[in-house]
Amino acid sequence: MNKSDSEKIFGLLSTIGYTSTELPEDADLIIVNTCSIRENAVRRLVGHLGNYKNIKQYNPNLIIGVGGCVPQHEKDNIRKKAPFVDIVFGSQNFNKIHEMVERFERNREPIVSIIKQADVYEEEMPVYRDNKFNAWVTIMNGCSRYCTFCIVPYVRGIEVSRTEESILREVEVAVEEGFKEITLLGQIIDLYGRDLKPRSSLDQLLYKVSAVKGLERIRFLTSHPKYMSKGIIDAVAELPNLCEYFHLPLQHGSDEILTRMNRRNTMAEYDELISYVRHKVPDAIVTTDLIVGFPGETEEHFLETINACVKYRFDSANTAAYSPRPGTPAAEMENQVPEAEKKARLIALNRVLNDIAKEKNQATIGKIESVLVEGFNEKKGNYYGRTRGNKSIHFQADDSCIGKIIDVRVTDGTSSSLRGEILNPALSLKN
Ligand code: SAM
């Protein structure tokens, strides 16, 4: 979501004449689009700002802006801690960044502008798409679920869906521009459309997006297991250009912890969901998010997470040690788990997940994957792309393959990627 917002910020800035530089030292303007999901992300902001402060010392005309989720939460603190920052804006008004920059260029007066809730789907918002093959399309903003660990509802506003018409227009334009793959984005995307009048739903939208001529691949991120409907799973089973890929954040394997996380679903419900996915889409790639060290997590609770991974055999997972976020209920809970314990559990969990991922990837040896070729990796000396299940795959090919969807036979697998050989005999090989 942040990457997608950054592409729009860049698009907006290009309307007032800005282009990109390779190095921050060459820039006239640096905008840092921040994330506050974990303490680590906030810490990285401090590191980046230290570097940019040094650059400003020998280029005093450099304009520095900080936007997104951190200022949305800490409005006045940014300039208190970093007075050399010229523009501070939030996640709800990044669509005005070009106006703020122009105002600063005129007045050279610091700007701090944060608003609580806004509609950031400006129809004509220009976007500079960083990835040349996959286009992000935001279909809803915000989150109103209030998981006790999560800061998102406080920094991204309440759930607001974008109209189907507006989404379809953006998808059509992206396909006309040559994008083969679209990833629809929302914090809890399976809730799409409930707030619209007339009401819509993600499955209804998926059928419409799927019908856009020339669109070869569709993905959607990220779901919440509680709201993943059979209709959405059926759509994945039925629509040929909807990829067999489900990201279903479990967060934890213990019902007791799930309740304290305010996740609203039980392990029994998750089990039923996975069974339905496997029944309707047997080849589905299923990935997840997991948190270790939530307050009160005992060794037994943690083992329930491990057991869930062994049972569901996730293809991959985003794992994190619980990070207390200011203003969220879990940050105030008793029995916070010591950092060293969290770290040890995270290492143990990742080891189990990596072993499963490696086994699963190796089990696909011999399988033919449809691959969207993204480029050539100079360091590794091979071409790379993504399968329909969003797995990274490496192979020998030539430049004519880039941007095309080709068949690749899997020849090996590690915990994080696949290796393969291309099948299309018409394609000439460099090596
Ligand atoms: N759709 C997802 C869901 O089911 O809740 C929401 C994605 S959330 C924005 C991104 C992920 O960050 C979460 O799934 C969670 O695993 C992780 N996360 C959020 N807050 C966290 C925290 N305080 N500490 C560690 N991880 C956190």
Read off the amino acid at residue 420.
Answer: G
Cβ of 325 less than 6 Å from ligand 1 = yes
What's the longest Cα–Cα distance across the chain?
Answer: 64
Burial of 296 (0-12, 13-18, 19+ CB in 10 A): middle
Question: Could you tell me the distance, in angstroms and rounded to a whole number, from the CA of residue 217 to the centre of ligand 1?
Answer: 26
Please name every residue paired with 413 in a beta bridge, in sequence order, or none if there are none: 418
Write out the H or E segment, with its range, that includes residue 221. strand 217-221
d(CA 84, CA 99): 20
Write out the H or E segment, with its range, that includes residue 317. strand 316-321
Are the CB atoms for 382 and 412 separated by under 8 Å? no
Q: Does the bond joining 259 to the residue before it have cis omega, within 30 degrees of 0? A: no
- What's the confidence (pLDDT) of residue 49? 94
Nearest-atom number in ligand 1 for the CA of 150 is 20
Beta carbons within 8 Å of 301's beta carbon, 6+ residues apart: 252, 253, 254, 256, 257
Q: Which of the listed residues 149, 151, 224, 336 should we mutate to test ligand 1's pocket, taking the one with most ligand atoms within 8 A of CB?
A: 149
Beta carbons within 8 Å of 415's beta carbon, 6+ residues apart: 353, 354, 355, 357, 358, 361
Cβ of 224 less than 6 Å from ligand 1 = yes
- What's the confidence (pLDDT) of residue 19? 96
Nearest-atom number in ligand 1 for the CA of 151 is 20
Write out the H or E segment, with its range, that includes residue 209. helix 202-210
Which pTM value belongs to this model?
0.94
Going by alpha carbons, the residue nearest to atom 14 of ligand 1 is 289
Are the CB atoms for 315 and 287 separated by under 8 Å? yes
Beta-sheet pairing, 382-387 with 316-321: unpaired
Tell me which residues of the chain have a pLDDT lower than 50. 428-431
Cβ density class 93-105: b for 16+ within 10 Å, e for less: bbbbbbebbeebe
CA of 16: how far to CAs of 64, 108, 262, in Å?
A: 16, 17, 44
Cβ of 1 less than 6 Å from ligand 1 = no
Nearest-atom number in ligand 1 for the CA of 323 is 24
Beta-sheet pairing, 63-68 with 29-34: parallel
Please name every residue paired with 16 in a beta bridge, in sequence order, or none if there are none: none
Nearest-atom number in ligand 1 for the CA of 147 is 5
Instruction: Say whether 33 sits in a helix, a strand or coil.
Output: strand
Cβ of 241 less than 6 Å from ligand 1 = no
Cβ of 150 less than 6 Å from ligand 1 = yes
Read off the amino acid at residue 101.
Answer: V
- What's the confidence (pLDDT) of residue 220? 98
Q: Considering only CA atoms, which of 262, 252, 263 is closest in space to residue 294? A: 252
Going by alpha carbons, the residue nearest to atom 5 of ligand 1 is 224
Cβ of 293 less than 6 Å from ligand 1 = no
The two three-digit tokens of residue 243, written as one number:
């990829």
Q: Considering only CA atoms, which of 301, 190, 317, 214 is closest in space to residue 256? A: 301
- What's the confidence (pLDDT) of residue 125? 81
